Structure 1
Amino acid sequence: MKIAFIVNNFPVLSQTFILNQITGLIEKGNEVDIYANPSHELKVHADVNNFNLMKRTYYFHTTSKNPFVNLLKSLRLILENSLKYPKFLYCLVKGFQHAKEASLPIWMLPYIAAPFLPAKNYDIIHCHFGPNGIKGILLKKLGLIQGKLITSFHGYDITYYLEKSGKNPYEDLFEIGDLFLPISEHWKNKLIELGCNENKIIVHRMGVDCRKFSFTPRYPSDDGQVQIVTIARLVEKKGVEYGIRAIAKLAKTNHKIEYNIIGDGPLMGYLQERIKQLGVENTVKLLGWKQQDEVVEILNNSHILLAPSVTSKDGDQEGIPVVLMEAMAMGLPVVSTQHSGIPELVKDAITGFLAPERDVDALAERLNYLIEHSEDWLKMGEAGCRYVEEHYNINKLNEDLFNIYKMIA
């Protein structure tokens, strides 16, 4: 099959769930192209190079903060591409009304359209995140791309994005799109509530390559040190501040805790300051982003994974954090929150513990239980590993995804 992926940015260290889909489909002999905004991350996962994905990637033109510069670049793109592809100007004229329907400034049309010249034909156009589904519909209306259009919904696209829009921006997408793949039952119910036809919805979860995250039994260290880890982009919805506060509460009486936070983001400076204010610089370490093999090594040396996700003040929510799947596949007991689709993965008191959002005392209590009951680590780890292998194994999920493609192509 010939498949187009339309995603936000590529490559991105924090979005292994998209990378694993792409590489899995290539391994099955499919031809895959990627359309994305440029990523400015310096590190990339090894599979980006192993599968030569940069040669398969086409970038949308980047915008400037200066509106005058944007307009000039837009005019230049129109002129250059109209000379090469005479139909391009006709597409843009036809697209003015469609851009308005998609709440897109008219000057942005050439930025989005140019990578699809000449017009492309695919069996499947798979858009990750709702706004890219809207973009896919626009490109189809312009006649620049053909194929069955599938949209995966993850979290921010049906929380924060909806609130920011002030209305339902997906009415056209729900009408024209061929299939919708929310990553949880939680988000399936939200799509139905928004007016999406239930017959066009299939829950398709994100997953992990269980071959890369092998099970290791967890036992206490000889020196009694307990290694707790969080792996997350440092933004509000990841709830990292509450994890730090819970660890600070425990550290007052337990000096054998080490808490490593893997990730980067806009809250890095703020969290560094919080760590100083709480006096836990020797206990809590912000280590920045790591590549997937480095993440595996850190998880191998950890005892408990903490994922204290919250609903941010602007309404943004998680889907189901992939790092929870990775940790459970490797046998770590986990502590997370009753947030979004997380309870569909983490079975409370069986594979780990769940606490209410933003409840520092509850997080500390559940962490403390695991620290004091290391005899439960193995049982929880085995239960978590089994559940991930059964429901979140990327190889099984990619087989399911390919069958979904064949069903509608």
Structure 2
Amino acid sequence: MKKRKPLKIAVVVGVFPSVSEAFITNQLRFLVKSGHHVDILATRHLDLDNPLCSSEAYNSLKTKARELSKTSLLSKSYFQRLFKAFSILLKFRSSIHLLKAFNVFKYGSDALNFNVFFKTYYKYYFNIYNYDVVHIHYGDNAVHLDSLINNFKKSIVVTFHGYDAHKFEKSFYNLLSQRKDITITVNTNFTKSKVEKLGFDTFQINILPVGLDTNIFNPEKKDSKFDNINILFVGRLIELKGPILAIKIVEKILEARDNVILNIIGDGPMFSECESYIEINNLTDRIHLLGSKSQSDIKYHMKNSDIFLFPGIVDGQGNSEAQGLVIQEAQAMQLPVVTSNVGGISDGLIDKKTGFIVEESNVDTFVSKIVWLMDNPSIRKEMGEAGRQFVVRNYDSSILGEKLLDIYYDSLKN
């Protein structure tokens, strides 16, 4: 770990805590452990009573989290606003922006009821707290913070995760893309190409995948010897993840083999469709819908599986998987992966060494690769070990955390 000057960092998210954003939590824990001052700012919802906060990962962070919302500031009663305003003034009494907000001659009653004060406090929030770096997760979140960004002249880092790069038109990002002093991070080359099409310059964009704690996702001995080959699918049950396709692939394998089990972990709008297909085609003995599971449960199923299947597709809206962190989690647990060549998935494994990359929706090829792995346990073992090494070298949170810090310090030099 490099020795550098500690930074004061605001990490801006939409919701905190969020079970689907463990990769951000890993990043936060690394920054804190590295000696930096970190504030977590939730722009949509702060839920510190969430059971997640009782876990070690989140419990250590919740004292650093607070809400960043103009509406929450203005919706308080007069006496609450009075108390809040003076507590802020005591802390930041040298802020010229805040003192000017009490100019009754200029603002009249809006000064007396603290409307101007809290609008000013929100608008100059990043300046008032004197951050070195403001790191905003999700591009659309950054757009909604436009006034704060425009008033902050130090380092702004914006991370695009995938949906934010293909859900919105180029015009949505017009103002943000004009800021050439903003640093962008993306998880894969695929997301980079999407962000470039939105108007951001190549020189602004850094590829920084989301990572995992390989000490947590660490392979252990299976609980017992299983007679069946256990195939695992983990993901939200939506079209682009390909859950129905996963079922059809295993259904075809079952036409010739009777020693296969598919466990599907995840919930979502396609749950009922998957359930109906399994029941109608008499697959309930061999294909199990397990619903949403905790990280420890997912790790347990990975430990006791033989092959990880992730047949992602391009959905009806043209969306596809930007990275698919679960693919790296599976490899960290020494599972060979069979996945598709859509979106940014191919960046996250080594074809024919840690798994197989298959043409999108090609059921026959998926079947042939899985059957070949079933028949070659020594190759499964080799691929699993190679996958673990690949993820430890390229996706461990501590390694990616150091790369993030490099990005922070470089952005401060510009």
Is TM (by shorter chain) over 0.5? yes
**CA apart distance, 1:406:** 1.8
Whole-angstrom CA distance in 2 between matches of 1:404 and 1:336: 31
Q: Deviations over 1:371-391 (max 9, x none)?
A: 122221111112111211121
- What is residue 60 of structure 2 aligned with on the other side? 51
Whole-angstrom CA distance in 1 between matches of 2:309 and 2:387: 14
- What is residue 26 of structure 2 aligned with on the other side? 20
**Residue 156 of structure 1, aligned match among 153, 159, 163:** 163
- What is residue 344 of structure 1 aligned with on the other side? 347
Instruction: Tell me, yes or no, if the aligned pair for 1:328 and 1:384 is still in contact at 8 Å.
Output: yes
| Residue identity opposite 2:66 in structure 1 | T
Whole-angstrom CA distance in 2 between matches of 1:358 and 1:175: 39
- What is residue 195 of structure 2 aligned with on the other side? 191
- What is residue 244 of structure 2 aligned with on the other side? 241
- What is residue 17 of structure 2 aligned with on the other side? 11
Q: Deviations over 1:358-380 (max 9, x none)?
A: 33333222222211222211111
Number of residue pairs matched by the alignment: 373
- Give the alignment's TM-score, normalised by structure 2: 0.80
Q: In terms of mean alpha carbon deviation, does 193-202 or 326-335 score higher? A: 193-202
Identity of aligned residues (%): 29
- What is residue 186 of structure 2 aligned with on the other side? 182
| RMSD (CA atoms) | 3.3
Query: Where in structure 2 are the equivalents of 1:28-43 lying within 5 Å?
Result: 28-36=34-42, 37-38=44-45
**CA apart distance, 1:224:** 2.6
**Secondary structure of 1:169 counterpart:** helix
**CA apart distance, 1:352:** 0.7
**CA apart distance, 1:140:** 2.6
**Residue 266 of structure 1, aligned match among 257, 266, 269:** 269
**Residue 335 of structure 1, aligned match among 335, 338, 341:** 338
**Secondary structure of 2:313 counterpart:** coil
Instruction: Tell me, yes or no, if the aligned pair for 1:216 and 1:331 is still in contact at 8 Å.
Output: no
Q: In terms of mean alpha carbon deviation, does 47-56 or 269-278 score higher? A: 47-56
- What is residue 103 of structure 1 aligned with on the other side? none
**Residue 210 of structure 1, aligned match among 206, 214, 221:** 214
| 1:395 lines up with 2:398 in the alignment | yes
**Secondary structure of 2:212 counterpart:** coil
- What is residue 366 of structure 2 aligned with on the other side? 363
Question: Which has the larger Rg?
Answer: 2
Q: Deviations over 1:160-214 (max 9, x none)?
A: x13xx4x432232122252011111222233334332222121111111111122
| Residue identity opposite 2:171 in structure 1 | N
Query: Where in structure 2 are the equivalents of 1:319-334 lying within 5 Å?
Result: 319-334=322-337
Whole-angstrom CA distance in 2 between matches of 1:217 and 1:341: 31
Pair 261,81 (structure 1): closer, same or farther in 2 beyond 3 Å: same
Q: Which has the higher contact order (CA 8 A, sep 6+)?
A: 1
Instruction: Tell me, yes or no, if the aligned pair for 1:228 and 1:260 is still in contact at 8 Å.
Output: yes
